């Protein structure tokens, strides 16, 4: 057995052991506190940005975000590798010595880099497999991973003998991959919602025992359609450039990976924006890193019994919160989940749409070409929503082809930057 597979299986076993031992919320938080304190004392100071903060409590560390990280990339990794060096390596083969370089899709307009060692990659993979496929050692899985870009993260998975994993690159579109997906005969699908919807609507001989959604917001209507086609509960994987952040249990409830990451919360309306501290990292430090995602935290624990925090919904991106002017010139914030619910709630016939804030007082709604009969109702629902919240922007509505993303993420609610927004 290779060293890579040994590290992956070791991480798998440790994750399963933690799940068995940390049965209550108090147990989990005490364990996390000890691990976090050790990380902040021993590991974090190895990066220049935190060299003078050894042993300090988490709240003494500064909040960082993508702009801060990318402006001083070398100060946040232990090897002192600059962003320029990392970008060149990413464009070449994604390697700098014993490190792997990856990048985000750049959906928000600026791409972020991440730097990991091989042991870290195998730790993430083992942890992900333990949470997503805990019976991997006793069952045989054929996993089709369909994403816009490849990742070295999955390279070791095929060495287990129990898991056959194949990556399908969506950069050139889903249609080019359909025949290969069918030929692979997967019994596990991992893909963004827009790809899962396309698979659900295609007349393909696919019979999956597990379906995982990731990389995009999973709308309730999409969930129902995917679950009806495959007769399984869709489980979400919350994973980003910043690391593995959450995995849904078999009941479909998203649970945050608090056995790897400490979360703090910044409110935005009824939602929260996370600050994450990944205390498993050893190469590039992510401490009090502000995410752009907006989450709906569950008020109740999941019936599955996990002490890990339950999330009702990953509602969208903070970048796509509409900022509308009210009659007094103040700003009214409208989060993506509220906009999405208003449009989809206007008619059961609406399965897809785009709502775009073009300017402080202008919003455009687009439905597919066959959505003419729902257009007035959906436009009215949006206008009524904004009015109830104290804003009255011009809302125009039209129909046009809504093409799936090519190499990026599907966003149905979009706030354009600039134009005074």
Summarised one tens digit per residue, pLDDT across range 305-331 is 999 999 998 888 888 889 898 877 788
Q: What is the pLDDT of residues 349-361, one digit of tens each?
A: 898 899 999 988 8
Cα dihedral 289/215/312/293 (nearest 10): 30
Provide the token pair at 124.
């993430």
Domains of the chain (ranges, CATH numbers): 3-318 (3.40.50.12780), 321-415 (3.30.300)
pLDDT value, residue 104: 74
Which residue in 252, 291, 242 sits closest to 268, CA to CA?
Answer: 291
**Distance in angstroms between the alpha carbons of the first and the last residue of the chain:** 55
Cα–Cα distance for residue pair 236/248, rounded to 1 Å: 5
**pTM given for the model:** 0.86
Q: What is the pLDDT of residues 13-57, one digit of tens each?
A: 999 999 999 999 999 999 999 999 999 999 999 999 999 999 999
Contacts of 392 (CB under 8 A, 6+ apart): 327, 361, 383, 386
């Amino acid at each position: 057995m290779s060293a890579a597979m040994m590290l992956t299986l070791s991480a798998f076993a440790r994750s399963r052991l933690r799940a068995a031992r940390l049965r209550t919320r108090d147990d989990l938080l005490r364990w996390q506190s000890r691990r976090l304190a050790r990380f902040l004392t021993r590991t974090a100071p190895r990066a220049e940005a935190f060299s003078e903060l050894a042993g300090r409590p988490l709240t003494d560390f500064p909040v960082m975000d993508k702009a801060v990280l990318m402006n001083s990339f070398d100060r946040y990794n232990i090897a002192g590798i600059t962003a320029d060096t990392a970008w060149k390596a990413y464009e070449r083969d994604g390697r700098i010595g014993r490190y792997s370089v990856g990048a985000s899709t750049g959906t928000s307009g600026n791409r972020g880099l991440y730097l990991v060692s091989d042991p870290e990659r195998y730790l993430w993979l083992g942890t992900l497999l333990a949470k997503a496929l805990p019976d991997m050692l006793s069952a045989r899985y054929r996993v089709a991973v369909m994403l816009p870009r490849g990742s070295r993260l999955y390279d070791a998975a095929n060495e287990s003998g129990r898991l056959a994993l194949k990556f399908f690159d969506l950069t050139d579109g889903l249609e080019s991959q359909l025949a290969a997906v069918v030929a692979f005969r997967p019994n596990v699908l991992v893909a963004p919602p827009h790809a899962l919807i396309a698979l659900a609507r295609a007349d393909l001989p696919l019979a999956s025992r597990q379906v995982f959604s990731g990389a995009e917001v999973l709308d309730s209507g999409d969930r129902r359609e995917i679950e009806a086609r495959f007769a399984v509960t869709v489980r979400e994987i919350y994973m980003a450039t910043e690391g593995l952040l959450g995995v849904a249990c078999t009941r479909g409830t998203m649970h945050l990976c608090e056995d790897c990451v400490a979360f703090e919360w910044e409110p935005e309306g009824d939602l929260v924006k996370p600050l994450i501290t990944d205390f498993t990292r050893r190469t590039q430090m992510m401490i009090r890193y502000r995410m752009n995602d907006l989450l709906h935290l569950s008020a109740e624990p999941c019936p599955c019994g996990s002490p890990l925090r339950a999330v009702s919904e990953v509602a969208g991106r903070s970048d796509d919160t509409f900022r509308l002017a009210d009659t007094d010139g103040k700003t009214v914030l409208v989060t993506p989940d509220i906009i999405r619910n208003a449009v989809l709630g206007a008619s059961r016939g609406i399965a897809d749409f785009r709502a775009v804030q073009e300017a402080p007082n202008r919003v455009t709604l687009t439905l597919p070409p066959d959505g003419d009969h729902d257009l007035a109702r959906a436009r009215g629902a949006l206008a009524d929503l904004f009015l109830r919240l104290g804003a009255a922007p011009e809302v125009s509505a039209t129909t046009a082809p809504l093409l799936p993303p090519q190499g990026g993420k599907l966003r149905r609610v979009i706030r354009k930057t600039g134009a005074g927004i």
